[in-house]
Amino acid sequence: MPDTSPSYKIIQAVEVTQELAQAARRLIPQLTRINPPPTSAELVRMLSDGTSILFIAQDQHPAGEMIIGLATLVLYRVPTGMRAIIEDLVVDEKTRGRGIGEALTRACLEWAERAGCPQVVLTSNPGREAANRLYQRMGFEVRKTNVYRYRFPKG
């Protein structure tokens, strides 16, 4: 009987390693061309702020482990309760289609549920068709709301 277990694992990043910093520099441009990848110092601030939980997908192979995906769960409290949003979920384009995005999303959902969040939101570019199909298959619903963005002038 063939082994059907995934060849990757999902873990929480608790420190910034050289491997994590390199992975962020490689993966974030696959997600967005607008925002640059974080520096190591920015990753340290993010991991230490207490509101951002970074999950990483590590590929398991004989040559060693390699980070092939990232997802950030942001938790915050407002007067009406706990909130959670999944941000910057990206899977290396070379490893897509193996269930890694779903596993990262599930890790975020499980953490948010344990934290007492009644729901989790995320946004996804309509052009990311596979990601949008995944989220809908997982039970996410498209909200009927206006999303606004204010950009500060560059100065």
- pTM comes to 0.92
C-alpha–C-alpha distance, residues 129 and 112, integer Å: 25
Where is pLDDT greater, at 6 or 33? Answer: 33
Where is pLDDT greater, at 2 or 120? Answer: 120
Q: What is the pLDDT of residue 5?
A: 63
C-alpha–C-alpha distance, residues 31 and 149, integer Å: 18
C-alpha–C-alpha distance, residues 75 and 85, integer Å: 7
Q: What is the pLDDT of residue 16?
A: 97
Q: What is the pLDDT of residue 63?
A: 72
Tell which CATH architecture fits domain 8-137: 3-Layer(aba) Sandwich (3.40)
C-alpha–C-alpha distance, residues 100 and 32, integer Å: 19
What is the H or E stretch that residue 67 is in? strand 64-78
Helix axes 100-114, 129-137, angle to 10 degrees: 50
Q: What is the pLDDT of residue 1?
A: 52
The predicted-structure confidence for 8-63, as pLDDT tens digits, reads as follows: 999 999 999 999 999 999 999 999 998 999 999 999 999 999 999 999 999 987 77
